Amino acid sequence: MHDKNYEDLANAIIIQAVKDYRGTQSPQVRNEIKRFFKSQWFSMLTNVDGDMLIKKLEREVKA
């Protein structure tokens, strides 16, 4: 059960970062979020490719 709780927490952190990226126009905030997606901590939380996620989000916000 504890593993599920940690997985839920990790997913919530990543989902919030994605929401924050989508919800801001600030280049500084977006750069901080990009640094998170490229960080060792991010790679510990998930197997998602941070660079791929950044590219997807950048295409979204430009559309």
Half-sphere exposure of 29 (CA within 13 A, CB side): 10
CB atoms within 10 A of CB 33: 21
CA 39 to mean position of chain CA atoms: 10
pTM of the predicted protein model: 0.89
H helix or E strand, kind and range, residue 52: helix 50-62
Domain boundaries, the chain: 2-62
Half-sphere exposure of 35 (CA within 13 A, CB side): 6
What is the chain's pLDDT, residue by residue, as a tens digit (63 residues)?
568 899 999 999 999 999 999 999 999 999 999 999 999 999 999 999 999 999 999 999 888
